Amino acid sequence: MDCIFCKIAKGQIPSKKVYEDDLIYAFHDIAPQAPVHILIIPKKHYSTILEIENDDKELIGHIFFIANKIAKDMGFNEKGFRIVVNCNRDGGQTVFHLHFHLLAGRMMHWPPG
């Protein structure tokens, strides 16, 4: 498999790591769309969120728990943040490994795009 996010999670491609455990890896986006732009990825490869199954509920909950931890640890929890998941091309997905964008550090607008 030639997945850039799998390679980042395995340490084969350098990244600016924010968090890592057995299930997930979080790192700063190389093309940030906000002052804080962190990607949170499962280490297990899922091409899109459509591949999530019933057995994956704990993983998804864990991702949101760690997003909260990162927000608190980095101090942007009080002002607020946004979590975004894009699915497939029309949904804005460009890397086909499930990932969660954690965005903060500026006022977010609605609709997003």
Q: Which residues are catalytic?
A: 99
The length of the chain is 113
CA end-to-end span of the chain, whole Å?
31
Q: For residue 38, what are the contacts with CB-CB under 8 A and spacing of at least 6?
A: 18, 26, 27, 28, 29, 70, 101, 102
Distance CA(84)–CA(82), nearest Å, equals 6
